[in-house]
Amino acid sequence: MNDEAQALRKPGSAGSRLKALIRSSEIDTRMLTMVMVLIVLWLGLHMITDGLFLTARNLYNLAVQSSVVSIMATGMVLVIVARHIDLSVGSVMGFTGMVIAWLQVDIFTLGAAWNWPLTILLGLALGGVIGAWQGYWIAYRSIPAFVVTLGGLLMFRGFAFLVTDGRTVAPMDPTYQLLGGGIDGSIGAMWSWVFGIVAITIVALLTWQNRNSRSKHGFTPKPIVMELALLLLWAALIIGFVMVMNAYTKPRTDIPRGIPVPVLILIGVVIVMSLITKVTSFGRYVFAMGGNPRAAELSGINVKKTTMMIFMIMGVLCGIAAVITTARLNAGANSMGMLAELSVIAAAVIGGTSLAGGVGSIAGAILGAVIMQSLENGMVLIGVSSAMRQVVIGLVLILAVWFDTIYKKTR
């Protein structure tokens, strides 16, 4: 944060000029570090696996695998930023997933066109209600979130079993299965390109609009070179992503798969959640509460209501994750989402969300989730046992928090 001041003090040195440049691009240095970690990790795993990691096939799978944890991690960012925690997300996802599967297969007419959209709606609503219920105890009855959601972790895992007495429900509706990103669960080459072009256009429009608004208010806008460079970087990333997803073909054909549906859902979630954190007063209040709960209250913010809404959003996101998981499994199993709370919290924390509250970003959480999933995926490719994988993931979580502490001290 003091980069600008430092740059002013010694304008000659190259280091400070670089810092000033980074600052003018408004890229978080911490985010930059995480991107570097990801790149190093990917290259390392690619070498260790003798070229198996950075293939279209593996990156496609990695994208699908990351989406479930990423979706929940965006909600966990809000929860942790507001100085709470949610240990129940895995169980809530398991329970809502079981209810969706049970309704779709056992209760409603399987194959009816209204069946799968209705079950999705009910699943998301159930997630929201569960979140509101937990949020109520936390906000209005002042029970620590740790306790309420630890209770939730047990309760909703139990409910997930009780829905069908432990029986796995299958198969799901064929259209519904597309949401899981299986063989047909992607949008093909043409639509992937359309998506890519639209995305680049939107990024360009946003940059232009932001520039306009800044100069209208008489602020100096960022250097135009920097804006163009960032825009090019985004375009390259988007085009690269579309090319990789199109390079992976369906089995025994040359038909490109394109962007998988779960990733599209994730992108939708990321856009909505970023908007919530950046441009709504609700998002501003969440961060204010994390920075200084008392100040938030004295500023007239309804802290209780805001807290309850945070947990409601978290619940709905668990519902969305449940939809993707059941669609992908083509079944509802009561063990779905077991231990997911740990991956989700780890993703948020690795992504720069501070457990002390007040700091965190949606983009960071996605990066965190991808880093976690890359580790997991890479270790599977290498043939690391599941017990050893747990050890490594656990260590990485501790290291991430340690890094957070150091980063805050040296800043």
Partner 1 sequence: MTKAPLVEMKGVHKRFGGVHAVKNVSLDLYPGEVVGVLGHNGAGKSVLMAMLSGALPIDEGEIHINGAKADIRTPRDARAYGIETIYQTLALADNLNAPANLFLGRELKTAWGTLDDDSMEAEARQVLHRLNPNFTNINDAVVNMSGGQRQVVAIARAIYFDARILIMDEPTAALGPSESAMVKDLTKKLSAEGIGIFLISHDMHDVFDICDRIMVMKNGENVGMYPIEDVTKDDVLSLIILGRLPEDWQPRSKQKVDAV
Q: Which residues bind partner 1 (CB under 8 A)?
A: 1-2, 4-5, 213-214, 216-219, 275, 278-281, 284, 287-288, 290-292, 294-301, 358-359
Taking the complex as a whole, the smallest distance from the CB of residue 217 to partner 1 amounts, in Å, to 4
Closer Cβ to partner 1, 286 or 363, answer by number: 286
Taking the complex as a whole, the smallest distance from the CB of residue 124 to partner 1 amounts, in Å, to 23
- Which amino acid is it at 270? V
Distance CA 271, CA 318 (A): 17
- Dig out the tokens for 158 from the structure: 């139990």
Within 13 A of 295's CA, how many CA atoms are on the CB side?
A: 11
Closer Cβ to partner 1, 13 or 281, answer by number: 281
Taking the complex as a whole, the smallest distance from the CB of residue 158 to partner 1 amounts, in Å, to 38
47, 49, 57, 180 from 52: Cα distances, Å: 8, 5, 9, 23
Taking the complex as a whole, the smallest distance from the CB of residue 132 to partner 1 amounts, in Å, to 22
Closer Cβ to partner 1, 4 or 106, answer by number: 4
Closer Cβ to partner 1, 83 or 257, answer by number: 83
Taking the complex as a whole, the smallest distance from the CB of residue 192 to partner 1 amounts, in Å, to 30
For residues 286 and 279, the answer to whether their CB atoms sit within 8 Å is: no
Q: What letter does residue 251 receive in the DSSP assignment?
A: T
Closer Cβ to partner 1, 216 or 252, answer by number: 216
Taking the complex as a whole, the smallest distance from the CB of residue 87 to partner 1 amounts, in Å, to 24
- Dig out the tokens for 123 from the structure: 């699943």
Q: ω before 11 within 30° of 0 (cis)?
A: no
For residues 127 and 322, the answer to whether their CB atoms sit within 8 Å is: yes
* C-alpha closest to that of 347 among 396, 286, 390: 396
Closer Cβ to partner 1, 1 or 387, answer by number: 1
Which residues have C-beta within 8 Å of that of residue 320, sequence separation ≥ 6? 71, 124, 127, 265, 269
